[in-house]
Structure 1
Amino acid sequence: MAVDANQRLLLAIIGLGIALFCLDLYLPLGIGNGVLYGGLVILSFLLPNRTGPVITAAICSVLAMADVILSPTLDGVPLWMGVTNRLFSLTAIWLPVLFFLHQRRAEDTLQRAHDDLEIRVRQRTQELADVNHALVEEIAERIETERSLRNSEAVLQANQQELRQSREELRALAGQLLTAQEEDRRRISRDLHDDINQRLAMLSMDLRQAEKGESSDAHSLRSTICLVSDRLTAISDDVRQMAYRFHPSILDDLGLVKAIRRQIDDFTARTGIKIAYVHRDPTTALPAEIAICLYRILQESLSNIVRHAHASQVEVELICEDDLVSLSVHDNGKGFDRAQLSQTGAHLGLLSMKERVRLAKGRFGINSTPSQGTHIHVEIPLTTGAPRA
């Protein structure tokens, strides 16, 4: 549609130019028509082509000067007057062109300034966007750093709390161990004095009576010797059991698997509680410190089952692998609340087991719920170069 309008405007300018040229041929001097040519030039400003006004002005100038020769002249009017009129016409034709060129130059300058301003605005906007993006990233990094710092502080506080609790537990364990050690010493002293010593004194009295008796009474002497022998055997068994409580020699002689079997059999015979024992034998002998650690943990676990759990079924599992040995003790007893137990402090046995595993560089875990039993699980890594049991 715009193309059709431009074409119609161009045809109108051409038609008007032809009409003015023909009119100028019949009018003398032609100054009025020369001014009208200027109107055609002004109309050409509407054309989209930037050179349209210049071309129009050039054509109109040629037509105006041609009319000097072709148009009629008045009698008595010199030629220079007609030429002067045409020069005024050229002024009327080219003044709009000069204005147009000046306007176009000003528009071009303004457009370049506008484009330059747009470029600088875009560059500045991009710089601001980059700065804003960098600021957002820096703020995000600071927020993340602060969050990490808060998390680290929380972890540090938790570790400090755990360390304080561990120190308190160790102090309590040390105190209770000293108390238990003194109790064991008193018990051993009492057993030796009230039991072993008295029985040995009775044996000494029997031997003295036998010594003072008549040597002809062989039957009486034989009975006395048999009685003394039986009492010495009983005393020997009691001393052996006492020594066994301090260090089970079966660990050194037969190894951990059979030592646990012996302990389980003794426990069942003493308490009547059946124990399911599952084991996987080690390919090589276990280090002595690991063997005694697991043996004592099982010993303490069975003791707790009798004193506290009152269980009817117990499962013991000993699994020996190439690089790891694990012990699991599970009972169906009454269980306990660990939080409540920690508050009361009555957990010397658990602290002792935990400390033994820590010294062996292992992991100790315990799960217990009231009325749902207790499960103790120990894992200790195997290292080379340690003494073997």
Structure 2
Amino acid sequence: MGSVEIAALKYADGRWTECARRIQGVGDAPIRVESYPSPREPYNVLWAELGGDQVARLTFRDGEIHFQRIPLPWTGGQWANIGRIDNTIIISSGTGQRTYFDEDKGTPCAAPQLDELLGRSRYWLIHMTQDASGTIWASHSQGVVTFTPSANDYLIDSTTFELRNDSYPAVRILPGDDIWITAGRSLYHVEQRPLHQKKEPPLTLVSLIADKQTHELLRPHQPLARHPTFTFDDNSLTFRFFSGTYAWMNPPQYQYRLGPSEQWRPVDPSMVLSFPRLQDGAYRLEVRRTGSSNTGEVPFTFAFTISPPWYRTPASYAAYALAGLLALVAVARWMNHRSLQQNAKLERLVQERTMELKAAMEKLGEETRHAATLAERSRLAGEIHDSLQQGLSGAILMLDTTMTSTELPSAIREQLNLMRGMLSYSREEVQQAVWDLASPFLQNATLGDALRKITSYINSGSAKIDIGITSEPVALDSKIQHHLLRIAQEAITNAVKHAAAQHIEVTLQSDDSAIVLSVRDDGRGFDPKACANLQGHFGLRGLSTRAKAIHAQLQITSTPSAGSIVRVSIPLHATSSHDPSRQAQ
């Protein structure tokens, strides 16, 4: 059977010759062929596994080759395997996928009795065959199950032919019931006598490796001592054992323990035992077959000792004691020297603290005098504002009223106008002098608290004033706080007295780059450009002067009948908050 063609050859007179016309091959599908006798065919029937879920039946009849693909009742299955029991062909694939073919009739059939018998196995069976004694040999992914006829039933053996290190075996029965089992990496011959009648070979230690040094300790022609001693550098040991033969169908299981007081543990099927980083001391490794404790079998024994590291030898301990004694002497001398140094240091510290206390007292006196000066300046500022400035303002208002009279001569009107200008200039000078004095609202209070207090003094109740401190600014120089407060005071006063505002919003906020003060009102507004060119608008010039004094940017936005916005922005680098000494002061 080939991928392109299928041919039939006959052996006669010492040579092979083709005896039929060739037919089309099976393509690139894999092929596995089984030959079975058939009562209906003159020659044996060939059954072929074509890979996947495809099988075919091949016969030679009347001088022609007949190729028949057998349809399966499933699709997409695994490899379809072909087996035979009596005259029934069994086709099995994945779990639950199995069908039967009757060679007597040459058609698919049902086999409920055979299906029930195979179903007794705890494994899903994929390939079945039968020897001359009627025993059914059925393979699964991990071994072989036998069904041996007994009276009117079968004896089922699922354990004798289990494979531990191989998979998917196949049973081959040669003439004379010579039975062989093939697997992926092994070939087994089934003998007629039980395996336990043979003498089992002893367990052998074939390799002993020090992992840390990666060298073999068990060398040819150099046997180890009965109780060897290994250095501490060789405290990571790997033992490799050999069970004595490769003929095990079912390799025995072993247990080990590293000392009489430890529990027995299973040995890995690779027969390798690893003990990393063993402590120094005496050890006794014992290895035995699982279940051998009931048979009296003597376990394999290997006793050895791990010597301590160099730093735990008697000579090392003596050196440690001498070093400790020398260290005690050195520590005593060092502590005496350190005590003398501490006394000298304390004397210097007392002198320094005395000088600091004296300086602090002098500074406290200076600050007390400074505070008294500020208090007196605040009192004078209030007195000047309440008396002199208010009187000047009243005089200006009276002059304005007098100048509105139509009966006033022009010469007197000019003199009164000149007098009004002088009074206005004097009021501006008084106002500037008052503003330069420190505000009492900033004493022991933040700028935000001062804004709230000064608002309550300015507002007579005609306007609603909202104060919004979105984030308290960093510590500012007293000069900056003073000018910001006065700018806010002037802007609020203008909005209340001149703009007839109903709502005023004051905000103070800071971010990573600047501190911003904003006063917004809904008053009648004005034209900043026009007012800048008129005489008498001292308030706007005062705002600009104060903004320049603290290196701030002043922006006045206003439109007639649309309110006003006074915005002052101070870059952080212009403040003194980065000077820890001034901030603390």
TM-score by structure 2 length? 0.25
Where is the helix percentage greater, Structure 1 or Structure 2? 1
Where is the strand percentage greater, Structure 1 or Structure 2? 2
Higher RCO (CA-CA < 8 Å; seq separation 6+)? 1
TM-score by structure 1 length? 0.36
